[in-house]
Amino acid sequence: MKALSFHVNTAKFIAAKSLGAVLGDRSFYKGFLSTIRLVDIPEPEIRGPDWVKIKTHACGFCGSDINLIRLHDSPTASPFTSFPCIIGHEMVGEIIETGPNADAFKPGIRVAVCPMLSCEVRGIYPLCCSCAAGRPGNCENFAEGDLPPGMFLGINSGLNGGFANVVIAHKSQLFVVPDTLSMESAVMTEPVAVALQTIFDNMPASGDKILVIGGGVIGNLLIQAIRFFVPDCHISVIEPAPHAAELAVECGADAVFPFSQAFAYTADTTGAKVYQPLLGMKIVMGGFNRVYDTVASEKTIKLGMRLLKAMGKLSLVGIGGDVKLDLTPLWLKLQAIQGVYGYGMATFGGKVRHVFDIALALMDEGKISADRLVTHRFALEDYQLMIEVNLSKKKHGAMKTIVVF
């Protein structure tokens, strides 16, 4: 079967980075040093009695996929990946085969697949402290057990990700798609779960003034999640792309403003006072109660810390690399910075449920509108065009792009 394969080693990494610096991003997905290729692989077989085989219906293309292809990820994460790998971690499909211990999962059931390869999936018992605490997305054993290293489906050489016609998954990774929910909505389960987990970990209080940095897919879903949980928050968004800014307002943002107006806008909106140091970026006293940074670049982290109120909390939703920061705002304003990655169990409606389950329920009930973010659909063979659209989202008016099988 056809699949989208990523592969790099040390020599290719150095050569591809050097060529990319000269020729641009095109060299990462076209040409002899391309990191991503369409390949033929055998259809996978289920690994044991707790596993199922799934015919893929659709798979979303994530910002982390484009960063992987362009070799933008930090080498620090390399012990928890293995190559070559079939990418794709935002997948939905229909079960076509099950192991004898797959419980209620039967052929014909539609499922969203949680991609995390945690202790239970790896056959490791007792569970690590993160898995035991209900946060398998932050498992301590991503490089252990009976699978190759890899945090999730899509960066693991032993299990293919969703950019292939068929995937296999452990029963603990499966969440049934409600009959009344379209598969085009269900393919958004993973990004919706990221947004929901972010909010569960940094829940606004009534009346808070919120800043979301980046109005892309995750930023938009954060806006919708905040509106659902705490409707009376004031939500501001920094987003330069007009199509994304317009959609952010449609989905609940009170205002969108550019980076260049950050300090003046913060003063007007929150009543903060702006101060100019002898050198460097301005800083405010007062400001936003909470900041959700979906970019997590050096520029955005610095700005978020300076706009964040004393004793406020900054959630780093984007996955950044090495940054250089002035930590003065951190100690001066007693700020907290929260890492964001993965998802797990959360209390919702008086019950402890997996965030994937909550995401599916909220989409099914119309509380979160995720399918409206799907702007482009591709066949697997058109992956190069999909990459080009993602590299120029503003030009193409793109939000979420998906491959449909």
* 220 lies in the same domain as 299: yes
Q: What angle do CA 246, 302, 69 make, to 5 degrees?
A: 70
Single out the residue in 339, 357, 391 at which a domain terminates: 339
**CATH code assigned at 9:** 3.90.180.10
- Residue 14 is predicted with a pLDDT of 77
The ranges of the chain with pLDDT < 70 are none
* 165 lies in the same domain as 279: no
* 306 lies in the same domain as 217: yes
* Helix 189-201 with 217-229: angle, nearest 10 deg: 50
* 79 lies in the same domain as 181: yes
Distance CA 162, CA 55 (A): 10
* 248 lies in the same domain as 310: yes
- Residue 45 is predicted with a pLDDT of 97
- Residue 300 is predicted with a pLDDT of 97
* 379 lies in the same domain as 312: no
Beta partners for 275? 283
* 178 lies in the same domain as 233: no
% residues pLDDT > 70 (the chain): 100
- Residue 253 is predicted with a pLDDT of 98
- Residue 320 is predicted with a pLDDT of 80
In a domain, 363, yes or no: no
- Residue 10 is predicted with a pLDDT of 78
Single out the residue in 285, 318, 339 at which a domain terminates: 339
* 248 lies in the same domain as 183: no
* 208 lies in the same domain as 169: no
In a domain, 146, yes or no: no
Query: How many structural domains comprise the chain?
Result: 2
In a domain, 356, yes or no: no
What does each C-alpha distance from 270 to 234, 307, 388 come to in angstroms?
10, 10, 39
In a domain, 210, yes or no: yes
In a domain, 112, yes or no: yes
- Residue 85 is predicted with a pLDDT of 97
- Which residue, 68, 170, 70, is CA-closest to 114? 170
In a domain, 308, yes or no: yes
- Which residue, 61, 45, 53, is CA-closest to 94? 53
Buried b (16+ CB within 10 A) or exposed e, 253-288: beebbeeeebbebbbebbebebeeeeeeebbbebbb
Single out the residue in 295, 323, 339 at which a domain terminates: 339
In a domain, 348, yes or no: no
- Residue 24 is predicted with a pLDDT of 86
- Residue 384 is predicted with a pLDDT of 97
* 20 lies in the same domain as 86: yes
**CATH code assigned at 261:** 3.40.50.720
* 196 lies in the same domain as 207: yes
- Contact at 8 Å (CB) between 36 and 284? no
In a domain, 220, yes or no: yes
- Residue 106 is predicted with a pLDDT of 95
Domain boundaries, position 178? 2-116+151-188+370-404
Beta partners for 274? 284
- Residue 16 is predicted with a pLDDT of 79
* 110 lies in the same domain as 30: yes
